Copies of this chain bind each other. A is one copy, B any other.
Amino acid sequence: MSNAITQLFGIEHPVIQGGMVWCSGWKLASAVSNAGGLGLLGSGSMRPDMLKEQIQKCKQATTKPFGVNVPLLFPYAEAHIQTIIDEKVPVVFTSAGNPALYTSKLKSHGIKVVHVIANTKFALKAIEAGVDALVAEGFEAGGHNGKEETTTICLVPEIRKLTNLPLLAAGGIASGSAMLAAMALGADGVQIGSAFAVCEESSAHLLFKEKVITCNEGATALTLKDITPVRLIKNEFYEQIHAAIAAGATKETQLEILGKGRARMGMLEGNLTEGELEIGQVASQLKAIKPVSVFMKELIQEYQLALQRIQQQLV
């Protein structure tokens, strides 16, 4: 099968593994690429030398295309962009920042550029900047998120209306039926985060993965909306920040409570009470820690079954 996304990246299935802090190093990214999707290194938790090393290890682990996610507001963004160019990585996903910053430069080196957006305003900026594709990420997604709180089912059709560019849907997708729903909404493929964060190859702490797979519906929330909205598990750290916000805490007080390194503490070091445990609403559908190859095989099989079922739904 071939569509706008598989052709753009030269991959087998239109499934991208989101670049996630503390989860997506070379082991995860290469496993996804080897399974026929597109793996992304999450550079938002890497120093420049670490990214170079991760790219080189990823090249050794797969002959297939992979990419790097770069959060543009990250202090090392500029250094990371140079590393990516030097290392001839074929694909970059940019997020959290101005898409006009590096798109032309990357494209002049033959690198495909995709920008992650959570609203129409940034979609228009990214299109103007000349990106090759967009990710429309809904409110239900884990980690950093948009202030408009537009959900996947509402956002994807809005962005599809704006542009004919290849379009990926993200947020709430961890099964073949949700992938089919995303395609029905007008996406050409999906970016999946949470389900890959709990795969065996993810570099997140085992305690974090075990916590995620016990989440029930309602276990996550979007918080820190005055700073950068982030979706995480409602643990003790969340309750502390939530109570402060409800009592009218200023932005400064919130930043003080947040401190430094909360995501590292939670996701890499496995501190389940004091750490920031970033994950999507779809966590409640994840029930096991699997190898990437197993998850990908199940995903594609479920998608084909869902497609067969839907073909009988003439109304």
Binding site for B on A (CB under 8 A): 1, 3, 6, 13-15, 119-120, 138-140, 147-155, 157-158, 171-173, 175, 177-186, 216-218, 221-222, 246-248, 281-282, 284-285, 300, 303-304, 306-307, 310-311, 313-315
Contact = CB atoms under 8 A, between A and B. Distances in A.
19 contacts: A1-B313, A14-B315, A139-B149, A140-B151, A150-B217, A150-B281, A151-B152, A154-B217, A154-B282, A154-B285, A157-B177, A179-B315, A180-B184, A184-B306, A184-B310, A246-B248, A300-B315, A307-B311, A307-B313
Residue with the highest number of chain B CB atoms closer than 10 Å, among A179, A186, A303, A313: A313
Contacts of A311: 307, 311
Nearest to A178: B153
Contact of A183 (B155, B186, B222, B310): B310
Contacts of A6: 315
Given A14-B315, A157-B175, A307-B310, 11 more contacts: A1-B313, A15-B315, A149-B222, A150-B217, A153-B173, A153-B178, A154-B217, A154-B281, A180-B181, A181-B181, A303-B315
Q: Top 7 A-B pairs ranked by shortest CB distance?
A: A248-B248, A148-B218, A153-B172, A181-B181, A180-B184, A181-B184, A151-B151
A81 B158 CA distance: 40
B177 A221 contact: no
Contacts of A284: 154, 158
A157 B153 CA distance: 14
Contact of A218 (B119, B185, B285): B119
B184 A177 contact: yes
Given A186-B177, A311-B311, A155 B217 contact: yes
A158 B172 CA distance: 11
A295 to B, nearest CB: 15
Contacts of A179: 315
Contacts of A310: 180, 183-184, 307, 310
A34 to B, nearest CB: 17
